[in-house]
Every structure is written in structure tokens, then in C-alpha cells.
Amino acid sequence: MGERETRRFWPDIHEVASPVYSDAENRTWATLLSSQRSLLPGRACREFLAGIERLDFPDDEIPRLADISDRIEACTGWRLRRVDGVVPDGEFFEMLAQRLFPSTDYIRRQEDIGYTPAPDIFHELLGHAPLLTDARFAAFFQRMGEAAVEAAARGHPARDLLPHLYWYSVEFGLIRTRDGLRIYGSGILSSPDEVLYCLSGQPTVLPFDMAAVAATPYDIWHMQETLFAIDSFAWLEEAFAEWCRAVGLE
Ligand SMILES: [Fe+2]
């Protein structure tokens, strides 16, 4: 699927009307944002915290996807596309390969404030958007999309493994830093419950061995019992490229 076809299914974010959010929905955003702002320093990695600064989210109202998309684009060329919900893997990776990130625009219900398995706008913007402004992560993420597109086109078995690598890095990744273990996975960072749980010592944290992670299935409905830590984003980019070569994807 090329850029023209992608546009047909997911128009430019500036061509999509932004929802009018209720006061209760804006309050959910405000509550989540202030809770994560106090939790994340010292727990999220510095690249992520720098991304939050760059995006400058409004405190008490849900931002327009178009505005955040413009700020991301100015940093790395990545843009947001508005989607209804979870995008099937094939289309999802097609978008990544084109530096497009699909985002929903609804917000979780108040009772799901701790963790929502369905990706809402808070998950997309607070969880994913900050690292889309980081050049190194942005390059890795596009490469992952390209590898998946190639695997799908060739019927390569890596097609079924890439979602595992995606899950344990982009969604639930940890990173070892000089100051200790930090979080970069968006599934953790957009969830107050997950942030505390992941650094609590309860989950087992293993080194991010590409082949082992690729073979590890995941469960979206429960807290992750095993997590994988990378050493740096430069390492992630290089190790992923090496894994692609090893399994026969260029
Ligand atoms: Fe996500």
C-alpha cells in the first residue's frame, strides 16, 4: 500500500474534524496527565521525558490530534492519522513504514483510568507520541514497519514474530541506564497502575535478546510477568537490524 492508498483510508489529520469533548472527558485527561507527570520523572527514560517537554500537552483539555501531529512532524517527520480503534497488524505496520502513527481520538471511561487495554487518546499521545519526537527511536520504529511490510509481502514467517518484538519494546519496553532501570514502553507509561507495577520488582526483567523476545507470546489483558530491558536505543536499532539480517529480511 503506497502513500496514495494510505491517504484514501486515513486522510490527513488536518482533514478530520476533532471531536468536541465533554467536561468529564477533559477531566479524565487532566487527572491522567497530572498523575503521570508526577509519576514519570525518575521512572521514564530521559528520551521520553524530553519528548513530553517538546509536545507541551495542555493540562486540562484533550489536545487536537492535528496540533500534536504538527509538533511531532517538526521533530522527526512522523505524523498522526486518526483511526477508529485497533488497526489490523498489516495496516498498522504499513503505516509505520511511512512514518504514520495511527491514533484514536476517544478517551477511556473514568472507571478504566488505571489501565485500558483498548488504546485511547491518552495512551496514543502520552504513551507513544513523546518517543516519536526522538530521532533514534523514530528510525527504529520505521524500520520495524518496513521489515513487517517486507515479511508480509514475501509470506515470511517473521510476520508472526514482529508483533512480539513490537509488544515487548514499543509497548512494554524497559531500558537500563546509569541511574537504574527506566521505562520507555507506551503501554506502561500511559497507565498509572503499570508504571508502579513494572518497577516494583514483581515482574521478571530479562535482557532483550531479539530471538528470545520474538518467540515470546503476550497477553494484553493481564500485567506482564516478564519484561525485557534494552541498553540503549542505539543498541535497539542495531540489534533489530541484525535480527532482520539473521532471519533473512533486509
Ligand atoms: Fe500502543
Domains in the chain, CATH or no CATH each: 3-247 (1.10.800.10)
- pLDDT tier, 1 (very low <50, low <70, confident <90, very high otherwise): low
- pLDDT tier, 2 (very low <50, low <70, confident <90, very high otherwise): low
pLDDT in tens, 105-130: 999 998 888 777 688 999 999 999 99
Q: 183: which strand partners?
A: 44, 174
Active site residue 171: yes
pLDDT of residue 214: 96
- Three-state secondary structure call for residue 177: strand
Dist. CA 109 → ligand 1 center (Å): 17
Dist. CA 124 → ligand 1 center (Å): 6
Active site residue 73: no
For the chain, what is the mean pLDDT? 93
Dist. CA 101 → ligand 1 center (Å): 10
Q: 100: which strand partners?
A: 79
Dist. CA 245 → ligand 1 center (Å): 26
- The arithmetic mean of pLDDT across residues 96-100, rounded, is 97
Active-site pick, 69, 123, 169, 186 = 123
* For the chain, percent of residues with pLDDT exceeding 70: 96
Confidence check: pLDDT of 8 > 70:
no
Among candidates 185, 233, 228, which has minimal Cα distance to 206? 228
- Three-state secondary structure call for residue 185: coil
pLDDT of residue 37: 93
Helix (H) or strand (E) holding 67: helix 65-76
Residue 81 falls in which region: left (phi positive, over 0), alpha (psi -120 to 50) or beta: beta
Helix (H) or strand (E) holding 180: strand 180-183
Residues lying with their CB under 5 A of ligand 1, a single-atom ion:
119, 186
